[in-house]
Amino acid sequence: MDNMDDKNVSIMLRKRLAANIRKYRAIKQLTQEQLAEAANSSQQYICLIEKGKVKISLEVTYNIATALNVKIDDLICEP
């Protein structure tokens, strides 16, 4: 895989993760602020994550999944 393919995969995964976080947050009827508090993060960071603007660590992904009461797989799989 070349660098362009790696970049495209990274962007695709970020967008998928963003969409799934928004979906599960809406299902749980949580605000970004409530999710941020439960995931030990900030509302601003959750906003950037949901827009697909930042790369997030596995630890942050785990914290968000735990706060949403879903598996990490649920956040990275096709919506």
pLDDT tens per residue across span 51-75: 999 999 999 999 999 999 999 999 9
pLDDT tens per residue across span 22-35: 999 999 999 999 99
Decide if pLDDT at 79 tops 70. Answer: no
pLDDT of residue 14: 93
pLDDT of residue 10: 87
Q: What is the CATH number of domain 3-76?
A: 1.10.260.40
Domain map (residue ranges) of the chain: 3-76
The reported pTM is 0.89
Decide if pLDDT at 1 tops 60. Answer: no
Candidates 4, 5, 2, 6; CA nearest to 55 is 6
b/e sequence 31-69, b meaning 16+ C-beta within 10 Å: ebeebbebbebeeebbeebbebeeebeeebbebbbebbe
Report the alpha-carbon distance of residue 57 to residue 69 in Å, rounded.
18
